[in-house]
Structure 1
Amino acid sequence: MLVAGMPMAFADGHASDGLTITADAVEGSTTITITGHATSSNTPVTIMVLAPNGNVVSIDQINPDSDGSFTSTIGVGGPMWKQDGVYSITAQQGSASINKSTVEVEIADGAVVPEFGTIASLVLVVAISSIVVLSAKGRLSFTPRI
């Protein structure tokens, strides 16, 4: 598993002129920070997390600040988070569809998985292939010749 030391935005859900949310986490972290902006500061925002199999694993209700912004921290791990895969985080304010936004975060072994994992694997494969090709073409040998 690769280790990242900086926060990374994994997903960003936008609805024009409606509710918006962003999920931020550090790779390998056991917390996800949800930030967003609501259309109204008078109505609470409900945040619900669904596992890949459709089960609800976390739910939170928060009141937005006077400017409509809100933040929630979700703990990852434990028996509810045992399934690896993509978890959907949905925030909703009221019943109008413009006031609903969803982001997705990949979880493996109860921790956040980096979005660039596929790219890192591809770079590793290309690097190993290049070493093999160059050593064959350049007659580079790892055993001494007598």
Structure 2
Amino acid sequence: MLVVAMPMAFAEDHGLTIEADAVEGSTTITITGHATSTINPVTIMVLAPNGNVVSIDQLNPDSDGSFTSTIGVGGPMWKQDGEYSITAQQGSLIQNKMTVVVEVADGAVVPEFGAIASVVLVVAISSIIVLSAKGRLSFTPRI
């Protein structure tokens, strides 16, 4: 199985950061994050593509501000395919609210490979350029 790493979402200024991780085909999503305040609890809410609330969790950050929550995917609330929004909020300030998106299909997590595909493409093109310059390789036949 491949590990899916969603891009980390950062709040403006200093505030709240969250990241959603899952394994391709998994029925769980792990939400990790960091809050600048350890006094107020963090509320995590998951919205389906149609706007329905499918999961809510509230937890207190550790003494260093970190927090972790595991959300189960599957069942009747997760039957709609598409992008599910995961929002973490601490207090009422806008800089203490962050959202990431996870794609779910057939009740399981779908991987995001956008960043990895871009890196592979850049490395491949760079390698071709370097090898053709050093080895004087030509990809066009001489007539």
Fold equivalence (TM over 0.5)? yes
The amino acid that maps onto 2:86 is I
CA contact (8 A) 1:11 1:105 kept: no
The amino acid that maps onto 2:25 is G
Residue of 38, 45, 48 corresponding to 2:42: 45
Structure 2: 5+ residue stretches without partners? 118-143
CA contact (8 A) 1:51 1:83 kept: yes
Deviation at 1:10, TM superposition (A): 1.9
Q: Establish whether residue 114 from structure 1 lines up as the match of residue 74 from structure 2.
A: no
The amino acid that maps onto 2:81 is D
How far apart, CA to CA, are the structure 2 residues paired with 1:114 and 1:71? 20
The percent of aligned pairs where both chains have the same amino acid is 80
How do 1:1-146 residues align onto structure 2 when only pairs under 5 Å count?
5-15=1-11, 16-116=13-113
Deviation at 1:48, TM superposition (A): 0.1
Structure 1: 5+ residue stretches without partners? 121-146
Deviation at 1:9, TM superposition (A): 0.9
How far apart, CA to CA, are the structure 1 residues paired with 2:2 and 2:35? 27
The amino acid that maps onto 1:63 is N
The amino acid that maps onto 2:75 is G
Deviation at 1:115, TM superposition (A): 1.0
TM-score normalised by structure 1 residue count: 0.75
SS of residue matched to 1:98: helix
CA contact (8 A) 1:11 1:24 kept: no
User: What RMSD in Å do the two structures reach over aligned CA positions?
Assistant: 1.6
How far apart, CA to CA, are the structure 1 residues paired with 2:7 and 2:84? 11
The count of aligned residue pairs is 115
Once the two structures are superposed, residues 102-145 of structure 1 have per-residue CA deviations (whole angstroms, 9 ceiling, x without a partner) of: 0000000000001139x99xxxxxxxxxxxxxxxxxxxxxxxxx
